[in-house]
Amino acid sequence: MPNPSVDALKQDGVCCLKAVFRPDEVAHFRDKVLQNLDQMGRTRSASHSHHLAGFHRFPTFAKLHAELATHPTVTAFLSHVFDQDPYLSIGLSDITVNRSQHWHTDLLRGPYAQHLEGIDPWAPTVGPCIKVLLYLQPGKSLRIVRGSHLSPTPLDDAALEQLAQSETVDRLELETGDVVMMDLRALHRGSTDEEMAATAGGAQSKILMSTVFAPLSSPLSQAIQVGNAHRMVDWDRRHLL
């Protein structure tokens, strides 16, 4: 049976599932994050900006990851996307608090792009890798180039920033509890540094949670798992140790 949201994801690289999480569930997620900011890294200059990469690895946050990853709406949607093929969480999970984000894709980039050697992420046989992104407050900072997941893009941040300047950009408007489904290859960005500097902290903080799923047999997902393991070691050393 056709699924309009799945069709939109395949065509545009993004879709939104509305009101997936109830207000009480959102409040639980927000409280857990805000009570444990001391366990998160500081990757931006703003004093109220925090980030925890690979949050599923930490006992404090592991249950939150499980609640996101196993939500019936999320798993039902992913089953349609992957057409009943076995899929798994590939270790790309993030909590961000008041964090700016430049133009990028979520493929391995920079020094970690070497793990994609010999793999064409845009080959039709590779299969999609899908980010599940939960909004814990309303938001309209997510900007995306629709359809950008269908054509090869650089694995370099500076080149992606330049590419985005020549493309048509859409801005998504999200509500509390919405879940965005996004292809890892899609070109997108979040808030600017200026927008985040003006954002209030504390209870008014902008909090996003995400995790990524991909087919078990996909060579792309296997390469990303290996490359991300190296990236996590470096990230922990820079921001947590």
pTM summary value: 0.95
- Cα 128 to chain centroid, rounded: 14
Q: Which CATH superfamily is domain 6-107+125-240 in?
A: q2cbj1_9rhob like domain (2.60.120.620)
For residue 221, pLDDT over 90 is answered with yes
Q: Which residue has the higher pLDDT, 225 or 125?
A: 225
Euclidean distance between CA atoms 45 and 42, whole angstroms: 8
Does 60 score more than 80 pLDDT?
yes
**What tokens were used for 197?**
């500097």
Average pLDDT of the segment spanning 188-205: 83
pLDDT at 1: 52
* Boundaries of every domain in the chain: 6-107+125-240
Calculate the alpha carbon distances from 36 to 4, 30, 235, 239 in Å: 38, 10, 19, 15
**Residue range 71-91, pLDDT digits in tens:** 999 999 999 999 988 999 999
Which of 97-111, 199-213, 216-230 has the lowest average pLDDT?
Answer: 199-213
More confident residue, 213 or 241: 213
